Structure 1
């Protein structure tokens, strides 16, 4: 019988990538000032969300708007998607103008501290709330995973304001502190404080998956355009099957951080392997195509 020492050694070995060819590389979040990261984390711990104003320029917003508006089609299929809300799915395969939002260092810095390495991109959408849209049902994003609360968040999300978010045009609403609710089945009630995420174009709100929130009603005469990216722990199934929807030639052109978040990584010891090998080999071999 093998000794307990041998068993402990083998278990320790399983905590690293068995291929031993692709060492963990710090994400772009490592470039963010530690004091800034600490302040952001404190806001998230207190409120469940943090607002970053003016992270991208008016010119970047214009480029995103020009690229995604032609992609907008029919409105939602149900009340949750929004009968007066247009959405674009599989964004990475249709335009690359949103890449900078997905792997923005400020976002990655938060994900690096909240989740295990090799966290995944779960969803990327363009959301355009048209005039007359009603309020979305309040929800928390990681409620789709059947793990009872209270618990740490299993994911996080960003919503980028390509148009300014106002009280009247459908700004996202949040329930501050709801990420810390202890009652497993508690839902927002009339006595809970709800706030609108009012922010200028080019800004971003980051929130954890346990925070109750929803799209606001659009009482204005204008659309409200936004881009949202959701992320999840490495051991969970993402909402979008990116390894199926994003061709390898598109993935090859993405940043290393986005490649990792699409699933071209190994969550130790071997979750995500392809034919027993690291999936990045599929991107390195130009002869392999979809």
Structure 2
């Protein structure tokens, strides 16, 4: 049977496989990582997975779910938009350098060498274009469902000497180091997150290209103390040229690495979520009226403007509004 990319039929084999494997996610260790990875990922021996065509959404979903957990999208953003985006980010990170950041505990003395710029939708039309690029919308829609939203769009600029981060997983999983706050039997059989990093500089091992542990997304847990050596011994690096994108499942263990070069390393971080997951940034309150007025239907969807919940149902218009037959 041929299934349309992203359809329920296409996803079922991946979900069934991951559900069986997720039931064992409490067992850890270096050997287990590679046994699981070898069982699931049998289609490629490349050290860096690349998807250059928009016609292979099904294989991309497979890669994110039970392959390496990430893929490079070459040439995603034009050189002109890369330059415009970087100029805006540098300006804001110089004038407003002290912002909330994450996963840098124990690095207070060098915290300002990693600079965040939040709420990029409100800082330039270039970011409105980037978050709704057709290649991204197709890929993320196949992974999260075609009514997905955007949880955040921000920048991370790591200056020379920047210390990098602790290995972690991303929102809404990012505090799974408190497992009692999560539902019973949560697992990786369906995704609640899709991350995209837009490279605004060439990412190299020298300047701190993001590290990621292939196959770790199936564990559905936060890295534990004492596992750093295994992570850094076995991780791969998200290397690429300016304008490339990297798409990954936020359950895969990853972290920014130290910048040992003499130049900045900057990326745009986009967090996409299923329509029902509460966004990390308040997209509705964080943008100007101008952004709302010129928003395309796709951007309105990403901002959560087309999804009607939550709402005060006691004040809603009478009538049936949900169900197969309206």
2:205 pairs with 1:156: no
Instruction: Show the counterpart of 1:125.
Output: 154
Q: Which of residues 232, 237, 253 is equivalent to 2:278? A: 237
Asked if the contact 2:76–2:243 (Cα under 8 Å) also holds between the matched residues in 1, the reply is yes
Please list every run of 5 or more consecutive structure 2 residues that lacks an aligned counterpart in the other structure.
Answer: 1-51, 105-110, 176-181, 318-326
TM-score by length of 1: 0.75
Give the root-mean-square deviation of aligned CA atoms.
Answer: 2.4
Instruction: Show the counterpart of 1:250.
Output: 291
Q: CA deviation at 1:116?
A: 3.5
Instruction: Show the counterpart of 2:122.
Output: 93
Q: CA deviation at 1:208?
A: 1.1
Instruction: Show the counterpart of 2:263.
Output: 222
Instruction: Show the counterpart of 2:213.
Output: 175
Q: CA deviation at 1:265?
A: 1.2
Trace 1:47-196 onto structure 2 (pairs within 5 A): 47-72=68-93, 73-75=96-98, 80=103, 82-142=111-171, 143-144=173-174, 146-147=182-183, 149-151=186-188, 152-181=190-219, 184=221, 187=224, 188-192=227-231, 193-196=234-237
Q: Which has the higher helix share?
A: 2
Counterparts of 1:101 and 1:86, CA distance in 2: 20
TM-score by length of 2: 0.68
Trace 1:200-211 onto structure 2 (pairs within 5 A): 200-211=241-252
Instruction: Show the counterpart of 2:5.
Output: none
Instruction: Show the counterpart of 2:30.
Output: none
Counterparts of 1:78 and 1:50, CA distance in 2: 25
Please list every run of 5 or more consecutive structure 1 residues that lacks an aligned counterpart in the other structure.
Answer: 1-31, 278-290
Trace 1:267-286 onto structure 2 (pairs within 5 A): 271-273=309-311, 276=316
Asked if the contact 1:134–1:218 (Cα under 8 Å) also holds between the matched residues in 2, the reply is yes
**May I ask how many residue pairs the two structures share in their alignment?**
242
Asked if the contact 1:265–1:272 (Cα under 8 Å) also holds between the matched residues in 2, the reply is no
Counterparts of 2:288 and 2:222, CA distance in 1: 40
User: For residues 216-251 of structure 1, what are the alpha-carbon distances to aligned partners after superposition, in whole Å with 9 as ceiling and x for unaligned?
Assistant: 110000001111110112112100111111133312
